Amino acid sequence: MVKAKNVKDMEFSLLLPHFGEHASRERLLDGSIKAEELGFDAVCVRDHLLFEPHGEMEAPNREFYDALITLTAIGAVTKKIKLTTGSLIPFRHPLHLGLMLGTMTHLVGDRLIVGMGAGTYDHEFEAIGMGHANRPKLTKSNAEILKLIATGTDVSYKDEYYEFEGVTIEPRPVGGPIPYWYCGGTPASVRLAVEYCDGWWPGRINRPTMEARLNYMDEQMELQGRKDPLTIAVIPPVSVGNTREEALSHVNVEGLCKWANKAKFWVKPASGSFETAEDLEGSLIAGTVDDVVEECERFAAIGTDHLVFDLRFRFDDYYDQMELLGEAIAKIRAS
C-alpha cells in the first residue's frame, strides 16, 4: 500500500540543458545559480557516452556535455543546491568513478546523489568492449564497489566484470558513501532498488504504473526483510503556460503517446492505449502554475519524495519556465 507524503516535504529538482541544441555554459552555470535562488532543491543531469536524441522530445542534435564535469562546474558556482545524476550509466570503471565522485565532494561539498541505471542502448557498451555485459549486474557491481572504497582501505573485489586487490581510493567522499538510487521503471528495477539501493528513481512513468510499482515495493520490502524506506523520485516532462492549452501546444503529445504504447510494463488507460494528453497522467505535466501544484500534490499522495521537472520541450524559453516553476514551488512551500 502506497504511503502518502506531505507535498511541502517534497524536494524539487530541475533537469539541466546540458544536451542538444540549447546546451551552453550560460544556461548551465547562470541557470543553476538562478535555480538555487528560486528555491529548487537540486539540479539533475543525464548521462550518455554516444548520445542518441529521443525523437519525440528532442531535436536531432548530438551535443552532450559530460554529466560529472557539468555537475562539478555547477557545484563551483552554487552553494547548497544538490547535484544529481538521473541516470549515470555504468560505462566507466567503478574505481575511476569512485575517484571522480570523491574528488567532487571535496570540491563542492556533500551534496551529490548518484542515480544509476543499466542504460538503454547496446552500442554505448559495444563501443567500449562491454557489449557482452549484463548491464543490471554492472549497475550492482558499481554500487558495491563505490560503497567499499568510500569506507575501506586495501579493498579487494572480484566478480565476472571487475577484479582488484588491495585498493585504496582517496579522497573518500565527504560524509561517507554517496546516496545511490536505482533508475528504472520496471518491476525488476524496484526489486533491485530494495535489494541494495538508497532510492528508486523511474524516469518517465505514468502515475498508475508508478503506484503499482510502489505497491510492489512494499511486497519486496517485506520479502527481503528491509526496514529502512527508500527515497522515491520521478522525472516527468513539464510545460507551463497561462492555460493548459498553451502549455500543451509546446508538447509532442503524439510522440509521447507512441513511446508510452511501446512501454512493455506500463499500466494502460481504460481504452487500452495511450491516445491523449490525459492518458499520459503523471508522465506529462502540462498546464498553469496551479496545475503544476496540483500534479505535485498527486505525486506526494502516492509517496513521492523527489520530483525532477524535465523541461526538454521548453529549453527554448528555459528561464521563463524556471520562473513559473519557482512560483509553483513557492506556493507549495506556503500552503
Portion of the chain with pLDDT greater than 70, in percent: 100
Domain 7-334 class, CATH top level:
alpha beta
pLDDT recorded at residue 152: 95
Q: Which pLDDT tens digit goes with each residue over 284-326?
A: 999 999 999 999 999 999 999 999 999 999 999 999 999 999 9
Q: Where are the domains of the chain?
A: 7-334
pTM to 2 decimal places: 0.96
The span from the CA of 190 to the CA of 204, in Å, is 15
The span from the CA of 37 to the CA of 72, in Å, is 19
Pairing of strands 199-201, 231-234: parallel
- Residue 131 confidence (pLDDT) above 90: yes
pLDDT recorded at residue 59: 86
pLDDT recorded at residue 275: 97
Category of 129 on φ-ψ map: left (φ > 0), alpha (ψ -120 to 50) or beta: left
For residue 262, CA distances in Å to 69, 211, 265 come to: 33, 19, 9
The pLDDT-based confidence of 2 (bands split at 50, 70, 90) is confident
- Cross-strand bridge partners of residue 55: none
Residue with grid cell 502515475, as numbered in its chain: 207
If DSSP codes are grouped into helix, strand and coil, which group holds residue 232?
strand
Q: Which pLDDT tens digit goes with each residue over 69-99?
A: 999 999 999 999 999 999 999 999 999 999 9
Other Cβ atoms within 10 Å of 168 Cβ, number? 10
Q: Which pLDDT tens digit goes with each residue over 169-200?
A: 999 999 999 999 999 999 999 999 999 999 99
Average pLDDT, the chain: 96
Please enumerate in sequence order all residues whose Cβ is within 8 A of that of 167, keeping only pairs 6 or more positions apart, or say none: 95, 149, 154, 155, 156, 157
Backbone angles phi, psi at 201, to 5 degrees: -140, 85
124: cell is 554505448
